[in-house]
Structure 1
Amino acid sequence: MIYSFYPTRIDTYAILFFTGGYQGDIPSEIYSDVLVRIAKHGYVVIAADYVPLVTNQANVRDRTLRLAGDHTQKYFEELQWVTKRLEGRIAKQLNRNGLVPDFSHLGIGCHSAGCDPLVKMTLQNHTFSKAALLLEPFSFNYATPVTFKMPAFILGTELSTQPHVCVQAGKGYNHFYDMWKCPRMLMEVKGHGHCEMVNDTWYKTCQIFHLCKTNPDVDINKYHSFIQGLSAAFLTTTLQGRDKLHYITNTTALPVELMEFKIDMNC
């Protein structure tokens, strides 16, 4: 399944290609609150899910194969498909022409293990993307350092590494930062957790079933505003060429407390 979010004003817009958690098994639709907010800053957001096989037994086999090996081809195919069809699809939805998704200014975005296939895509062919927005990235088998320059903003949360652990030690955001090449930034947020990227209903489900450690005092709306602000500042800088990094680097003005902030941009 492929979802798209975009402004209603007719113009040409940069693109964010986003994949949800567990390598696409977590539907991108449940991230719609954050993705719609990012789109309102002047982006066409493409949210792509991994399309599983038909039967349940096949789904289990398919997932096992993907976790163990290379599964990027499906996402390359989806990106190629949407590149040819998205402008017409948007025109049909808006009932007018003129809104143009600019695939020459595309960044990748992801949450959790949804970052695994996107990183592998960039390692195979990094020319399709100009920036990487890695929100609490996690990988089962990311072992190849980045050798090319692609700006990356990497977000982590304190509770994601605490029981019930949703980001395993040595495989999460600090690992991605260490494997990435300058320019890169990492921000770890205190008192927040892995499920807070998703819409409110799904966040409450995460709390009830203890899927990941959560903070019962978190204001999801406020946190989503924080995420979209950081994302927009990073993407505006890297995809549109307008420097908005002070919204990230001025950490005293952020509405959250940080555990850690690392930046390596002078390269």
Structure 2
Amino acid sequence: MYRLPWVVLFGTFLTRLWTSAQGLYVDNGDPYDEGPLEVLTLSISQNDAPMLTKVYYPTRIDTYAVLFFTGGYQGDIPSELYSDVLVRVASHGFVVIGIDYMPMVTATANVRDRSQRLGGDHTQKYMEELQWVTKNLEARIAQHLNRTGLVPDFSHLAIGCHSAGCDPLVKMTLQNHTFSKAALLLEPFSFNYATPVPFQMPAFILGTELSTQPHACVRPGQGYNHFYDMWKCPRMLIAVKDHGHCDIYNETWYKACQLTHFCKTNPDVDINKYHNFIQGISAAFLTTTLQGQDKLQYITNTTLLPVQLLEYKNDMNC
């Protein structure tokens, strides 16, 4: 019953808010299918860029929209742990930049430093990273691919994040939102997010039923519904049943989370099927907001989603 109002209003909003995506690669397939593009991984060390960087990019020479992604615990969770999902998204025609705040060994050894950082303003380093990749990534990809012509188009960029990795990106956006056209917030969690978004930037927000249940990895009242309440329209939220905070990780790390009970998990989860779901909603949202091809029906027609929903809502009264 939400589908027609959302599609009509969002289509009107698209023409008013976004510039043309002419010249970009546009994915014309089903976002839940495997993307048609082969993907390579480029690693950039912290000795070169301000932050450890994993870039997942299509090998086909073209111009691509960009997803700037931060992993959990404000970037301490390495983006490699999300590589299965990020590669799937990239295969639909995106250059995906995964950012790590610090090496995992260093992050684990410096718990005190990490705890202090959670309450501070640490967005400058992320902004420096964005500025660096904007200036240098095209040349680095050409060197890695051994040919020129593949262009990451930073004028069509979205922020993406998981868990408390959303904290620094939201702070960056609140300081200056003009660099991003959309926000893909996957199970967002914040230790200190208290400023409502005052501008219009489309957001898709994902939540999971088990993330707030013991062993909880998201504090109640600081997760996906909090981000939805703080975000200005256009915004949409889907929370799924029977899934938890670790389900987005690659299978090996999901199993480690399950064995250690770090977060509550469901032993009957089909990780491949769930990752395919995240691929689908992410590709549908990003293709619409960045590539200019309306695919929101793949999200709004909730009866066709390959998961059971706990909650669905949107706000288009902009």
Q: Does 1:182 align with 2:214?
A: no
Q: Provide Cα deviations, 1:177-214, integer angstroms capped at 9, x if missing partner.
A: 00000000000000000001110000000000001000
1:122-137, aligned counterparts within 5 Å?
A: 122-137=173-188
* Alpha carbons 1:150, 1:182 under 8 Å: kept: yes
Find the partner of 1:48 among 99, 109, 112. 99
Q: Deviation of residue 74 (structure 1)?
A: 0.8
Residues in 1 aligned to 2:162 and 2:116: alpha-carbon distance in whole angstroms: 20
* Alpha carbons 1:53, 1:62 under 8 Å: kept: no
Find the partner of 1:251 among 299, 302, 314. 302
Residues in 1 aligned to 2:105 and 2:312: alpha-carbon distance in whole angstroms: 44
1:1-267, aligned counterparts within 5 Å?
A: 1-51=52-102, 59-267=110-318
* Alpha carbons 1:190, 1:256 under 8 Å: kept: yes
Q: Provide Cα deviations, 1:94-144, integer angstroms capped at 9, x if missing partner.
A: 111110000000000000000010000000010010000000000000000
Structure 1 gaps of 5+ residues are: none
Residues in 2 aligned to 1:133 and 1:176: alpha-carbon distance in whole angstroms: 11
Residues in 2 aligned to 1:158 and 1:58: alpha-carbon distance in whole angstroms: 31
Q: Deviation of residue 62 (structure 1)?
A: 2.9
Q: Provide Cα deviations, 1:52-73, integer angstroms capped at 9, x if missing partner.
A: 6997898334312321111101
* Alpha carbons 2:160, 2:183 under 8 Å: kept: yes
* Alpha carbons 1:52, 1:59 under 8 Å: kept: no
**Alpha-carbon distance change, 55 to 116 in structure 1, aligned in 2, over 3 angstroms:** closer
* Alpha carbons 2:156, 2:290 under 8 Å: kept: yes
* Alpha carbons 1:187, 1:261 under 8 Å: kept: yes
Q: Deviation of residue 255 (structure 1)?
A: 0.5
2:233 counterpart letter in structure 1: C
Of 65-74 and 245-254, the range deviating more from structure 2 = 65-74
Number of residues paired by the alignment?
267
* Alpha carbons 1:104, 1:128 under 8 Å: kept: yes
Residues in 2 aligned to 1:152 and 1:40: alpha-carbon distance in whole angstroms: 21
Please give the root-mean-square deviation of Cα atoms over the aligned residues, in Å.
Answer: 1.6
* Alpha carbons 2:78, 2:104 under 8 Å: kept: no
Please identify runs of 4+ aligned residues in structure 1 that moved more than 4 A: 52-58
Indicate the SS of the match to 1:150.
coil
* Alpha carbons 1:20, 1:110 under 8 Å: kept: yes
1:23 counterpart letter in structure 2: Q
Residues in 2 aligned to 1:68 and 1:255: alpha-carbon distance in whole angstroms: 37
* Alpha carbons 2:76, 2:104 under 8 Å: kept: no
* Alpha carbons 1:7, 1:39 under 8 Å: kept: yes
**Alpha-carbon distance change, 55 to 39 in structure 1, aligned in 2, over 3 angstroms:** closer
Q: Deviation of residue 266 (structure 1)?
A: 3.8
Residues in 1 aligned to 2:304 and 2:212: alpha-carbon distance in whole angstroms: 25
**Alpha-carbon distance change, 256 to 81 in structure 1, aligned in 2, over 3 angstroms:** same
Structure 2 gaps of 5+ residues are: 1-51
Residues in 1 aligned to 2:201 and 2:227: alpha-carbon distance in whole angstroms: 13
* Alpha carbons 1:130, 1:150 under 8 Å: kept: yes
For 2:24, the equivalent position in structure 1 comes to: none
Residues in 1 aligned to 2:186 and 2:104: alpha-carbon distance in whole angstroms: 27
Indicate the SS of the match to 1:13.
strand
